[in-house]
Amino acid sequence: MTDPDTLQPVHEPRLWSDERWTARVIKNEDDDGWAVSMTLHGEAEPALVGPWTMGRDKKNPKPLDVSAFNTLVKTASEVLRRHEQQLHAQLNKSVAVTVQGRRLRVALSIVPDDEGATATLSATDDLGEELARVPVPPTFRLTTASATAWAEGDFERPR
């Protein structure tokens, strides 16, 4: 019996897929050349779109093959990984401050949500023990000055 969620591999000159990715050679709308798109299964938009090589006849695209597909998977996976790292960095910030001779790490974590993002401000000491955790607006700006003021104010919820 076949699992309907299991995708069958496709190995065609302009369409190549495995259980996670689909490569599709498409006409480049900007010129006479060709492009290739790499889409992760389940996603609406491609993770990567790039130029594709012309075939020997200089009219049609070079056919996809296992080597090209594997290279495209590696490149598209790296694009997704960088995007995830960038998003993580935008949503999670931290600064180190010294207050009353104590070294503290103050962190802001934002959780995106279609209904409305939430954010948490937390402080840990140099041993990693959490000293405080409070909800803040997702628009809160974490800076060295705001972190120091929060710690000096006995970790009361910033207004």
Question: Do 58 and 107 belong together in one domain?
Answer: no
In a domain, 76, yes or no: no
Cα(124)–Cα(135) distance, integer angstroms? 15
In a domain, 72, yes or no: no
In a domain, 50, yes or no: yes
> What's the start-to-end Cα distance of the chain, in Å?
60
Residues 27-59 pLDDT 10s: 987 777 899 999 999 999 999 999 999 988 888
Question: Do 96 and 147 belong together in one domain?
Answer: yes
Range of the domain at 106: 91-152
Helical (H) or strand (E) element with 27 = strand 21-27
Lay out the sheet containing 15-17: strands in order across: 10-11, 15-17, 21-27, 34-40, 48-52
In a domain, 143, yes or no: yes
Question: Do 99 and 53 belong together in one domain?
Answer: no
Residues 50-100 pLDDT 10s: 999 998 888 899 999 999 999 999 999 999 999 999 999 989 999 999 999
Neighbours of 21 (CB within 10 A): 22
Q: How many domains does the chain have?
A: 2
Q: What would you measure as the largest C-alpha separation in the chain, in angstroms?
A: 74
pTM (2 decimals)?
A: 0.68
